[in-house]
Copies of this chain bind each other. A is one copy, B any other.
Amino acid sequence: MLDSFTKTIEALLEKKKYSSLRDVLSTMNEADIAAMFSEMPEESLPLLFRILPKDLAADTFALMDTDDQELLIRGFSDNEIKEVFDELYVDDAADIVEEMPANVVKRILKNTDPQMRNIINEILKYPEDSAGSLMTTDYISLRPRMTVSDAIKRIRRGINEAETIYTCYVTDDNRKLLGYLSVKNLLLADKDEKICDIMDKTIICVHTHYDKEDVAKDMNKYDFVTMPVVDDEGRLVGIVTFDDAIDVMQDEATEDIERMAAISPTEESYFKTSDFKHAKNRILWLLILMLSAAITGGILTKYEEACSAVPLLVSFIPMLMSTGGNCGSQSSTMIIRGLSVDEIKLKDYFKVVFTELRVSLILSVTLAVINGIRIWIMNKNFLISLVVSLSIIFIVIIAQFIGCSLPMLAKKCRLDPAVMAAPLITTIVDAASILIYFNIATRFFNI
C-alpha cells in the first residue's frame, strides 16, 4: 500500500501540484509519512517537508531517519529550526540532538528557546543507557491538596506540552513523588474530592541511573504506560513512556541476537552501516574463533597416527563436531534467553544443570542409537559404529553441560551471557569432541 502511495506523491511532486499534495499528506499518519520519506529521493525531502502542515511536520520529523533529519536541518533557516524544535517533545528533541554532529548541535541549541535548551542539556548529561537519557520531562504533576476539579483545570492548562496524560503524578512542594492517579480514576472521582484521598500511594519508580533495559522490563511487568523517574532525593524528574520502552526491548532483542551470532551489536540499521563498519563488527570474533579452532586442529595432529591406522575415523569428525556444537548451542540459547527475560535466575544454576543433564541423556541415547544403526548398515563395521555411538553420548552430555554453564558463569561475572552463544560454545565443544572421540577410538582399536 505504501508503495503505491509513494508513487502518487512522486507524481504530484513532479507536476508541482503542491496544494493537492498537502491535502493528501494531511490525511496520513506521521509514521506513514516518515516511512514514505525514507523511500523518496533525498533532494525532494526539503520541499516535501515544507509542504507538510505545521502540526504534522514536527511529529513526522521526530520519526525520520537520522540521516534525513540531518539533511533537513542543514537546509533549514534558523527560524525553521526553531519552529520544528519548539513543537517537538523534549525527549524526542534530546534523542535527535544526541545523534547530530557537533556543528549541527550548536545550531540547534542556538535556535531553541532557553527552557528547551536547558532540558536537552540536562537529559544529555545522563549516561547513554540510563532511565535519565530515555525519559521525557513533559509530564503533568498534581499536588496532594488539589481538588479533582483543580486537577482537571491544571491538566487542561498543561496538556499541550505533556506527551501523555495516561497517568498523573502527585508531588509535594519539593517535587518529591507521593503517589499517582490514572485519568480513569480522575474521571470517576467526585469533583470536590482531594487528590491525596483518591491517589494510589504504592510508589513504583526508577532512578535516573537505572539501566534502560530494566526500566523496560519493569514497565512490561507492571503493564505501565509510563514509569516515573526520580533523582537521588526521590524527586520526580521525568517519565519514561511505553513507546520508548518498546523500542528499548526491540533493540535489546536485536543486540542479544547479534551477540549470539558473534557480531558486535550496533544501533545502526543494516543498510545504513558502511561496509567497513560491518566488517569491523564481525572481524574480532571471527579472529578469536579462528585462532581457537586452530587449537582443535592442533589436537587433531596428535592423532595423526590413529587417522592413518584407521582412515575411516576421519570421516566421522564433521558429524561429531557438528552434533556437539548444535547440542551446546541449543542449551546455551535456552539459558541465554531465559536469563534475558528473567525466567531463569543465577540461583537456579543446579536446577538448570540437572534439567540439561536429564535432557542430554534422552537426546544422546536417541542420536547414538540412530547413528549407530546407520553406520553399521552403511559400513558393516560394528566396532566403528560402537565407537561413534559411545562418542556421541559423551559429547552430547558434555556439550549441554558447557552450553548451560558458560552463559550463567558469564552472568555471574557480570558479562553479557549472550557472548557465550553458539559460536564460542561450538569452538569449545569442537575441541572437547575431538578429545573424547579419539580417546575412545584409540582404546577400542588399540592404536
Contacts and interface: CB of A to CB of B under 8 A. Distances in A.
Interface of A: 27-29, 31, 35, 152, 155-156, 159-160, 162, 164-166, 183-184, 187-188, 202, 204, 220-223, 225, 242-243, 245-247, 249-250, 253-254, 256-258, 260-263, 269-271, 275-276, 278-279, 282-283, 285-287, 289-291, 293-294, 296-298, 300-301, 304, 307-308, 311-312, 314-319, 321-323, 325-327, 329-330, 332-338, 341, 343-344, 348, 351-352, 355, 358-359, 362-363, 366-367, 370-371, 374, 422-423, 426-427, 430, 434
A257 to B, nearest CB: 5
A423 B298 CA distance: 24
Given A304-B311, A307-B311, A315-B300, A156 B188 contact: yes
Given A300-B315, A343-B270, A261 B330 contact: yes
Contact of A249 (B249, B307, B314, B430): B249
A282 B358 CA distance: 13
Contact of A308 (B256, B311, B344, B348): B311
A355 B229 CA distance: 42
Copies, count: 2
Contacts of A282: 327, 330, 359, 363
A296 to B, nearest CB: 4
B363 A283 contact: yes
Contact of A314 (B35, B166, B314, B348): B314
Q: Which of A166, A256, A278 has most B Cβ within 10 Å?
A: A278
A262 B31 contact: no
Given A159-B184, A426-B426, 7 more contacts: A27-B202, A165-B184, A183-B187, A257-B336, A260-B333, A287-B370, A307-B307
Given A31-B221, A366-B279, A374 B294 contact: yes
Nearest to A424: B326
B359 A279 contact: yes
A366 B165 CA distance: 55
CB-based closest 4 A-B pairs = A261-B333, A253-B253, A293-B322, A293-B319
B279 A298 contact: no
Q: Which of A27, A31, A223 has most B Cβ within 10 Å?
A: A223
B246 A287 contact: no
